[in-house]
Structure 1
């Protein structure tokens, strides 16, 4: 995309800012509890836990701001959610300095992969129907969760859904900000979210000297690398491509890998291009003009840095929000992306069946050998495509549309 942004007006900032706010809320409120669980498994002190939050939030914020500003695209970065889920099970049996050493080795792996260009070449081989089917399968559970919360809090879900429909009818551009504000007013007025106990406190980084062992390299670094690559980078790049953004994966891998390397001694396990929360910022709801959606990436970065500075305090604030509210908000914000992905997946009659296989296999979300459903959905789709058509691509796909100059960035 053009590296020179058109003139921005005040109203151009509203939708991207709200999309970024929702993305950050969903990220902290939805999966960040895993960081606390992993910290507890490792026996970390409150200070070291706060340092983990500080390092990963600051790192995600800085890399997201730089990438979004440099390439004028909404390149949202985030911590590795499948990675931290994996760490919950291994930090209890791995000395923390060795785990930090494993984080460093994993980060070096991403830097090397980004500089080599191998990942981008693989991504270019994927047919567009399979790419869209994979993305639709990943997002499906979030769309279902938008309504599944009615079992726990039917009035909240009905209120958010009804408000969304009405706002889409009369002021489509501000539908998401509307349900966000309506939902917060409802939660506060009914006492379902109490922010009165939240107190701001600045977090301080704690340096941990890493230790490198063969056990941690094979038992922590290698699985963390593979899980993050297949569970975060692949779907994250597909989110960007699905909405027409063409920056090569190479600089994204290299920059996030470098950021992870610098942040690792302070507790950060890994960060990468975001997938689910990125989709909130890359679609039309973030801004009608694709050239102005990069604002959402910059605002996300600013919000992440703010949370990082105040550490556990603001993370706890996001955790106060009920899970039903977060799930419904995320699902409604992703409706357009889910619909667009399904339409793209089924658009080509010749590849419709393999795209559908990818979609269903991914949506099943089966974990095998410690690797999540997104990877196996992709494997199923590619295997079916190869057996049915004998090759991966017959013509250029969405994932290969980056210009040569962009691929070198």
Structure 2
């Protein structure tokens, strides 16, 4: 246990969790709300997500002695905000179970993961960009309704991104809380430090929900989270145990789905915080930073009641801006990746436009329809 209480390990673990939560917890709450969850059920979502991410991060990192950080799927949550409202909560929960099952099966059957890798990243990121774009646009609407508030938040974001990019969302959240204090009636806010409790939610398997929620959630999680997570670890010279990681997170998804655990997968961006040289000069000791991140995940999950109360109390304009600005970097990455490769540029454009349109055909949502048409188009387009 030598060095387990190293300040660099503790601070890296805390920062990774803090960045993950401040950048996207509001999107998770929106996803749960659009899925039909009540405030108590939303608390259960955040509780089990914290427990899932904490246990899987600690377990995988301790067993393999590598910094294997897991996270929730922010793009997956964004997809749920768009699509989950068309289904009952129990049907969405059933989709979460099946998505976890598909991830588990992918880990068990090698050819499946290989087939997924052959999906052009340009099309996957085009689909993601179309999902994220409405969120990012909505964050600029307060310029008309609350111009002063927007200017304060936007300037904070720009300055923070320029001078302290790692802590941009933390500073933006701090300013958002200060602004909310002045624009929200204090007697309308009920905030207390309390531990969350898990809430069982019925599970229903609906064919349409499986097609339009489970399958897109699985694809988004694999393309935008697990594959980049593997690439991130490789960039720091770690050989990711892909099979074990997929099976572990997939099984965790299935077990915790009835309590709101919609996704647990390899982290990418936040994982880098626990892998660089500043964490530990010895790369074989950096896994301890992820173990601390797991501890902080567990703490955040246990006190999800307070987290939910805090974000529900925020005015709608503020939550829109927080979600928008948190996703701008991801949107930029997706757009760049989608149209970077010339041979897939037209197929990516079709995927992007069809997904963005919101159209459906024969019960197939625009998310899956856009990706399918993009794949077909790219398949029959001559390579230059």
TM exceeding 0.5: yes
Q: SS of the counterpart of 1:147?
A: coil
The alignment status of 1:229 with 2:229, answered yes or no, reads: no
Q: State the Cα deviation string for residues 101-121 of structure 1 (Å, max 9, x = none).
A: 887666445422321134421
CA deviations on 1:69-95 (whole Å, 9 max, x unpaired) are: 765355422596466964873458x8x
Aligned: 1:175 with 2:168: yes
Cα distance in 2, alignment partners of residues 245 and 232 from structure 1: 19
What is the Cα deviation at residue 253 of structure 1? 3.5
**Retained in 1: the 8 A contact 2:100–2:254?**
yes
Residue 154 of structure 1 aligns with which residue? 147
Question: What is the CA-CA distance between 1:259 and the residue it aligns to?
Answer: 1.0
Superposed CA offset, 1:302-326 (max 9, x none)? 5653354245454233222223222
Residues in 2 aligned to 1:295 and 1:330: alpha-carbon distance in whole angstroms: 31
Q: Distance in 1 between matches of 2:274 and 2:141?
A: 28
How many residues are paired up? 363
Contact 1:120 1:250 in 2 (8 A): no
Mapped contact 1:146–1:332 kept (Cα < 8 A): yes
Q: Residues 236 and 12 from structure 1, CA distance in 2 versus in 1: closer, same or farther, beyond 3 angstroms?
A: closer
CA distance in 1, matches of 2:207, 2:126: 32
Instruction: Note if contact 2:99-2:217 (Cα within 8 Å) is conserved in structure 1.
Output: no
Secondary structure of the 1:382 match is helix
Answer whether contact 1:113 1:253 (CA < 8 A) is retained. Answer: yes
Cα distance in structure 2, aligned partners of 1:297 and 1:144: 34
- State whether structure 2 residue 311 is matched by structure 1 residue 318: yes
* Residues 63 and 77, structure 1, Cα contact 8 Å, conserved in 2: no
Which position in structure 2 is the counterpart of 1:30? 30
Confirm or deny: 8 A CA contact 2:351 2:373 kept in the other structure: yes
The one-character-per-residue Cα deviations of 1:10-41 (angstroms, maximum 9, x if unpaired) are 87567535422313532344323235x2469x
Aligned counterpart, 1:127: 120
Q: CA RMSD in A?
A: 4.6
Matches within 5 A, 1:2-401: 8=8, 16-34=16-34, 37-38=36-37, 54-63=47-56, 66=59, 72=67, 74-78=69-73, 81=77, 86=84, 89-90=87-88, 107-191=100-184, 197-205=190-198, 216-217=204-205, 219=207, 222-223=210-211, 225-230=214-219, 232-237=221-226, 240=229, 247=240, 250-264=243-257, 267-268=259-260, 270-273=262-265, 281=270, 302=295, 305-310=298-303, 312-369=305-362, 371-389=364-382
Q: SS where residue 334 of structure 1 aligns?
A: helix
CA 1:384–1:221: 2 relative to 1, 3 Å: closer
TM-score between both structures, scaled by the size of structure 2: 0.71
Conserved 8 A contact 2:274-2:290 = no
* 1:201/1:374 CA distance change after superposition, 3 Å: same
- Tell me how far apart the structure 2 counterparts of residues 263 and 231 of structure 1 sit (CA, whole Å): 19
Q: Provide the rounded CA distance (Å) in 1 between the counterparts of 2:252 and 2:136.
A: 32
| Counterparts of 1:201 and 1:300, CA distance in 2 | 21
Q: Structure 1 pair 145/296, CA: closer, same or farther in 2 (3 Å)?
A: farther
- In structure 2, stretches of 5+ residues that fail to align are 1-5, 280-285
Is the CA contact (8 Å cut-off) linking 1:39 and 1:49 kept in structure 2? yes
| Structure 1 alignment gaps of length 5 or more | 1-5, 41-45, 395-409
